[in-house]
Amino acid sequence: MITIEHLTKRYGAQVAVSDVSFTCQPGTVTGFLGPNGAGKSTTMRSLVGLATATSGTATIAGRAYQDLPNPGRQVGVLLDAGAQHAGRTGREVLTLSAMTLGVGRQRVDDVLGQVGLAGRPAGKRLGNYSLGMRQRLGLATALLGDPQVLVLDEPANGLDPEGIFWMRGLLRGFADRGGTVLLSSHLLHEVEAVADQLVVISGGRIVAQGTKSELLADTGGTLVRGPDRALLAKALETAGIGVSPGPDDALVADAEALAVGQAVAAAGVVVTELRPAGGAGLEDLFRSLTSSDSGNGQQVQEVLA
């Protein structure tokens, strides 16, 4: 489990992260979202002992990273996939890491296979790796110690669509086996597809957090459409459900889909479409929370709480 409590990090007068608190539970993937400079990397670097918190704490299984015995066996970290020696091969990088961690050579082959770098790619020098291959190697390094926790900063950066799909499966499988994943990404659709929990940060402050279903819950009523719009409206109003005009001759009913379905069924009215009216998804949520005129982050969080 990852626990961030009232974490603040200042660089001189620059406040990178301000009073950030959230937890990541075993068995879940947490998507950590925010615009450039929001404080994602600083939070993750504080969590793995690469930045010293000005105040507050960031712990893994109740301990600071540097206090964990052999932390690489407990936490897999991918912060900057480019930060490797260009003259080494992928296999050499992993073999050196395996020696440092005290894991067997077999594990090197295991993770090379797991990330799709087995065979010839493993023998190539990193200078000849594509960005996507470097990301795969970074993931292999993170997985090497068979950790229970993964902290990944932009792991999908540079992966092609097939690679992104593959990574989604890898992270989902890791969490489903009881692992804890904290994942930052700019790829909102990707995060939406894989994360159970979302934490949105902007200007160093958390502006929203919760399960994906909580944050993306549709509060915009139910869109309903049928061949006889007037009859449909009457059926809903008779059932005490308010209606307003929707797009393209549809109606937006001020009730959940189940209540709308029950009302039209009771009235014997034909419908051709019935679905949540909003469904704007993560992109709209992200924009509304992180745009510079979104106002006070605390207020936004309270609205969503």
41 makes contact with ligand ATP (CB under 6 A): yes
Least Å from the CB of residue 108 to ligand ATP: 30
Which span sits near ligand ATP by CB under 6 A: 31-39, 84-92, 113-121, 190-198? 31-39
Least Å from the CB of residue 34 to ligand ATP: 5
Report which of 83, 80, 59, 84 is spatially closest to residue 71, judged by C-alpha positions: 59
Residue number with CB closer to ligand ATP (10 or 172)? 10
40 makes contact with ligand ATP (CB under 6 A): yes
38 makes contact with ligand ATP (CB under 6 A): yes
In angstroms, rounded to a whole number, what is the distance separating the alpha carbons of residues 52 and 55? 9
| Given 14, 106, 219, 292, the residue binding ligand ATP (CB under 6 A) | 14
In angstroms, rounded to a whole number, what is the distance separating the alpha carbons of residues 150 and 142? 7
CB 290 within 8 A of CB 207: yes
Which span sits near ligand ATP by CB under 6 A: 34-42, 144-152, 207-215, 250-258? 34-42
Distance of CA 282 to CAs 33, 128, 153, 208, 289, Å?
10, 36, 19, 12, 10
Residue number with CB closer to ligand ATP (24 or 241)? 24
Which span sits near ligand ATP by CB under 6 A: 11-19, 70-78, 175-183, 217-225? 11-19
String of contacts with ligand ATP for each residue 42-81, x by CB under 6 A: x---------------------------------------
Number of residues that bind ligand ATP (CB under 6 A): 11
| Given 4, 16, 200, 300, the residue binding ligand ATP (CB under 6 A) | 16
Distance of CA 136 to CAs 49, 109, 139, 166, 235, Å?
23, 14, 5, 10, 56
Residue number with CB closer to ligand ATP (37 or 220)? 37
The pair of three-digit structure tokens given for residue 233, joined into one six-digit string: 């409206």
* Beta carbons within 8 Å of 125's beta carbon, 6+ residues apart: 86, 87, 88, 89
Distance of CA 68 to CAs 9, 22, 61, 291, 301, Å?
22, 20, 9, 38, 33
In angstroms, rounded to a whole number, what is the distance separating the alpha carbons of residues 33 and 181? 14
Which residues of the shown chain bind ligand ATP in the complex (CB under 6 A)? Answer: 11, 14, 16, 34, 36-42
